[in-house]
Structure 1
Amino acid sequence: MSRAVATVLGIGHLRPASGTWASAATVAVAVGLYQAGLALAVPVLFVLAVLAGFWAVPRYLAGRGDTDPSEVVIDEVAGQLLALCFTVIPLWRHDVADLALAAWPGWVVPFLLFRLFDIWKPWLVGRADRRHDAAGVMLDDLWAGLFAGLGSAALAGLYHGAIEPWL
């Protein structure tokens, strides 16, 4: 069971860039839920992914030499969901009906920023990654998700507050 959770039902075995595949699948699920009128399922899934990840990752890594194998992608799922919460919830609160096409920056920007922070590993993301333990596997992506979410919100605020009025 821990392997199924840690690899998100095998998505972690997709190559190349298993983390990007997991993030893309997460975005697709989140957009689908939003389009189906289940926007609040995204933050619920975030909480469930965090809990599942902190349960599964230590069990999956037990007795292994590699402390962060590429097939473990539940951390990417949790981080990507966190980043998406920063745009999905405000769009839902403003009754935006179409996230897929009309509000596409609401999922594209969090995806791109999350992948950037997850790969680049600035500041707290890198510090968590250097822990080389199960908690670090989860924490680096949660920090990346937080930074991506904050960056997405800041860019949306900049666009809607400073750029859009001039268009």
Structure 2
Amino acid sequence: MINLTATFFGIGHLRPASGTWASLAAVVLAVLAFQAGLALAVPVAAVLATLAGFWAVPLYLRGRDDSDPSEVVIDEVAGQWIAISFTVIPLWRHGAELGFFSGAWPGWVAPFLLFRLFDIWKPWIIGRADRRGDAAGVMLDDIIAGFFAGITSVLLAGLYHAVLEPWLLT
């Protein structure tokens, strides 16, 4: 159970870029949940993945030399679900669609790309959390990256809808 949780059911073993594969799986599950009428399951899943990660990662890392092996991706899943929650909840509240090829597709593309950017770049406190070198740091950098990505997604959506969209329509 520890291995399945830490690797998000084995997705962490996909190569290359196991974190990107895990993030993509998280986005697909979030969009499918939204389309099934379970939009609020996404933030609930983010909380559950975070709790599961804080449980599984220290146990998985016990006795290993590598403090952040690439197959551990529950942190990416938790962070990605946090990021996409920032767009899923408003879209759900406004009765908007969220689809892969139609509807409000930027609602999943922006959080996905921004989360990957912040997770790889690791600016400011994301990098500080990552440099902890322990199981908590493995989880914290992605949780913080998820919040950064979610907030940035909302800011970009606001900029588009308040400034660019009215300008484009005139």
Assess same fold via TM > 0.5. Answer: yes
Residue 166 (structure 2) aligns with:
165
- 1:67-146 to 2 correspondence within 5 Å? 67-100=67-100, 101-146=102-147
Name the CA distance, whole Å, in 2 between partners of 1:117 and 1:24: 15
Could you report, residue by residue, the CA deviation over 1:110-161 in whole angstroms, capped at 9, with x for unpaired residues?
0000000000000011000000000000000011101100100000000001
The separation in 1 between residues aligned to 2:57 and 2:3, in whole angstroms, is 8
Aligned residue-pair number: 167
One-letter amino acid of the structure 2 residue matched with residue 64 of structure 1: R
Q: Tell me the distance in 2 between the aligned counterparts of 1:98 and 1:105.
A: 9
Cα distance between partner residues in 1 of 2:161 and 2:129: 33
Answer with 19-28 or 98-107: which moved more. Answer: 98-107
Unaligned runs of 5+ in 2: none
CA distance in 1, matches of 2:125, 2:85: 20
Q: For the residues of structure 1 that align with 2:99 and 2:42, how far apart are their CA atoms?
A: 13
Identity of aligned residues (%): 72
What is the rounded CA distance, in whole Å, between the counterparts of 2:120 and 2:133 in structure 1?
16
**Structure 2 CA distance for aligned equivalents of residues 43 and 150 of structure 1:** 14
Counterpart CA distance in 2 for 1:37 and 1:96 is: 12
RMSD value over aligned CA atoms?
0.7
TM-score relative to the length of structure 1:
0.98
**After TM superposition, what 4+ stretches of structure 1 lie above 4 angstroms from structure 2?**
none
Which structure 1 segments of 5+ residues have no match? none
Normalising by the residue count of structure 2, what TM-score does the alignment of the two structures yield? 0.97
**Residue number in structure 2 paired with 1:39:** 39
